[in-house]
Amino acid sequence: SHARISIDRDFTIAEVPHRLFGSFVEHMGRCVYTGIYEPGHPDADDQGFRKDVLALTKELGATVIRYPGGNFVSGYNWEDGIGPVGNRPRRLDGAWHSLETNAFGLHEFVDWSKKAGTEIMEAINLGTRGVEAAREIVEYANHPGGTYWSDLRAKNGHRDPFDIKLWCLGNEMDGPWQIGHKTASEYGRLAQEAAKAMRLVDPDIELVACGSSNSGMPTFGAWEQTVLTHAYNEVDYVSLHAYYQEHDGDAASFLASAVDMDYFIESVVATADSVRAKGKHKKHINLSFDEWNVWYQRGSDDEDQPEQVNNSGWREHPRVIEDKYNVTDAVVVGTLLNSLLRHGDRVKIANQAQLVNVIAPILAEENGPAWRQTIFHPFARMAELAKGQILRTNVVSDKVETAQFGGADLVDVSATWNEENGRIALFFANRGLDEAADVEVALRGFDAGRVTRAEVLRVPEGGDRFTRNTLHAQDQVGLVPLNGVKAAGDELKLTLPALSWAVVELE
Ligand code: AHR
């Protein structure tokens, strides 16, 4: 098969948003406990943070990390996680049917984030709590001192404010499964009032209102319309969440999941802008895609994929949704990253859910090693190389017929141009299961003679599209050199192997 792509130095979309390569740490399963935090682990530091996981987090290139949930946050008292660890209460976490020890809380996450070099995106509980708790946590985190909550922070060991800029106003409040689920008007008013009270404490914070939990929600569209009609002036972003999986062996539709992501993003932009027009507002509301990934939620015939929630008893950090990702999943993740990047004019924040163990690019065994899943690789390369300006990509590609989305481009792409070092980076996916794709790229306005990076993730020798990285074969799937890439002046030629994700960087 074949694809012709054009980019043009003058056709830019936006600067690559730094927060596009975010991740997510929820008190869920083994993401916190035995994920980022395991005091008894041989590789733990003096605070109990796993150094192997910290090193992989840095290599992944995550920039901003959402915390502490997720569904968990809608039943969480943030005060349970502060003060001497011995005094912290043990609680039932209804969202994930787990026992929460609260050994890890806000101070620990702040310290961990400093070590990881990541920004904090803090979610507040708008399920069981409201305006009062919302403004108190901002005072605790950001007020310099001389008040009850800021002095308590100092007493608990942090004299300097945490200075958390980015806050989520609850989580998935449109979902009937959410603790304290609300209608759009109930939530819109609560988000508005919580935002107002939080900003009265710290006017410099940025706020994300909950949008829809996925584009298939019955309230999708109407939810955003109502919530933003109430809270337009008070918030800066509206959130989107989406998880994709292969259904009944329909790999073609699964590989075209980014078509849904494109549709979802463009629909939310249109809805936000319609509220802007109707309300005669000046500012734009941008998008925070603060949960996205592949997640095998239903119908998995693979016994390796654990149950979503194990209801057999209340346990500390049970194993939940520790999906093991294969080659196909990595190619899909690459296309989802392409979709986010292509919409970088409006999607300013995105968080892959989650960071470790729970539907994550990093797996970590209790008292054992940590390693990279297949999906780690496209994320890490894009976080490293997608710098500067996002370029518009014009694609004329052979199509693949899909049951869910009709004809989808066989070759998917996004591109950036880093004016500082003069480098162009192109991120390709070949959705074709059996055929290689010949790709020609017209590099208008560029003179690129040297290929500085050419790597591909593909089915490894002796493997198939289901091959994964496991405890005993941690590097079966990774990036290998992509041979035969030819760049001359304003033209680039390459061949993408069947079912592959590739990066080419030029100067
Ligand atoms: O990331 C896993 C869960 O998915 C989150 O807790 C929730 O917000 C979403 O439904």
Domain harbouring 410, CATH code: 2.60.40.1180
**Are 64 and 117 in contact, with CB atoms under 8 Å apart?**
no
Concerning whether 206 is annotated as a catalytic residue, the answer is no
Going by pLDDT thresholds of 50, 70 and 90, the confidence category of residue 74 is very high
Residue 9 lies in a domain: no
pLDDT at 52: 98
**Are 338 and 414 in contact, with CB atoms under 8 Å apart?**
yes
pLDDT at 303: 45
223 and 296 in a single domain? The answer is yes
Scanning 173-238, the segments in alpha helix (DSSP H) are 184-201, 222-231
What's the pLDDT tens digit per position in 8-53? 999 999 999 999 999 999 999 999 999 999 999 999 999 999 999 9
Of the chain, the percentage scoring pLDDT greater than 70 comes to: 97
- Measured from the CA of 171, which atom of ligand 1 is nearest? 8
- Measured from the CA of 71, which atom of ligand 1 is nearest? 6
Of the chain, the percentage scoring pLDDT greater than 90 comes to: 96
Sign of torsion over alpha carbons 172, 177, 180, 185 = positive
410 and 372 in a single domain? The answer is no
Q: Give the Å distance between the CA of 388 and the centre of ligand 1.
A: 31
Q: Which of 172, 224, 234, 246 is catalytic?
A: 172
Length of the chain: 507
131 and 234 in a single domain? The answer is yes
- Measured from the CA of 175, which atom of ligand 1 is nearest? 10
126 and 66 in a single domain? The answer is yes
> pLDDT averaged over the chain?
96
Residue 46 lies in a domain: yes
Nearest CA to ligand 1 atom 1: 353
Concerning whether 172 is annotated as a catalytic residue, the answer is yes
- Measured from the CA of 353, which atom of ligand 1 is nearest? 1
349 and 428 in a single domain? The answer is no
Residue 460 lies in a domain: yes
Can you give the residue range of the structural domain that contains 480? Answer: 391-506
Q: Which of 79, 122, 224, 291 is catalytic?
A: 291
328 and 190 in a single domain? The answer is yes
pLDDT at 403: 98
Domain harbouring 263, CATH code: 3.20.20.80
Q: Is the pLDDT of residue 93 over 80?
A: yes
Neighbours of 23 (CB within 10 A): 29
Following DSSP, what letter does each residue of 366-420 receive, concatenated? TTS-EEE-TTHHHHHHHHHH--SEEEP-EEEE-EEEETTTEEEESEEEEEEEETT
Task: Select from 73, 76, 126, 171 the residue to mutate for testing ligand 1; criterion: most ligand atoms less than 8 Å from CB.
Answer: 171
Average pLDDT over residues 304-316: 64
359 and 449 in a single domain? The answer is no
Neighbours of 329 (CB within 10 A): 26
CA angle 294/172/123 to nearest 5° reads 100
**Are 46 and 70 in contact, with CB atoms under 8 Å apart?**
no
Nearest CA to ligand 1 atom 9: 70
- Residue at which a domain ends, from 338, 359, 385: 385
248 and 273 in a single domain? The answer is yes
Q: Is the pLDDT of residue 497 over 90?
A: yes
29 and 126 in a single domain? The answer is yes
Average pLDDT over residues 123-136: 98
What's the pLDDT tens digit per position in 374-402? 999 999 999 999 999 999 999 999 999 99
Nearest CA to ligand 1 atom 3: 70
pLDDT at 100: 98
Q: Give the Å distance between the CA of 215 and the centre of ligand 1.
A: 15
Residue 453 lies in a domain: yes
Please report, as a single letter, which amino acid is at residue 60.
Answer: L
24 and 94 in a single domain? The answer is yes
How many domains does one find in the chain?
Answer: 2
Q: For ligand 1, is residue 328 a contact (CB within 6 Å)?
A: no
Following DSSP, what letter does each residue of 106-126 receive, concatenated? HHHHHHHHHHHT-EEEEE---
Residue 428 lies in a domain: yes
Residue 332 lies in a domain: yes
Average pLDDT over residues 98-112: 98
ipTM of model over 0.90:
yes
Q: For ligand 1, is residue 29 a contact (CB within 6 Å)?
A: no
Q: How far is CA 497 from CA 97, 144, 336, in A?
A: 44, 56, 19
What's the pLDDT tens digit per position in 329-388? 999 999 999 999 999 999 999 999 999 999 999 999 999 999 999 999 999 999 999 999
Going by pLDDT thresholds of 50, 70 and 90, the confidence category of residue 244 is very high
Q: For ligand 1, is residue 354 a contact (CB within 6 Å)?
A: yes
123 and 196 in a single domain? The answer is yes
Scanning 24-101, the segments in alpha helix (DSSP H) are 51-60
339 and 395 in a single domain? The answer is no
Average pLDDT over residues 272-278: 98
Residue 3 lies in a domain: no
- What is the Cα–Cα distance from 442 to 492, expressed in whole angstroms? 7
Using alpha carbons, select from 133, 105, 138, 118 the residue that is nearest to residue 66. 118
Helix (H, G, I), strand (E, B) or coil at 93: strand
DSSP H/E element including 297: none
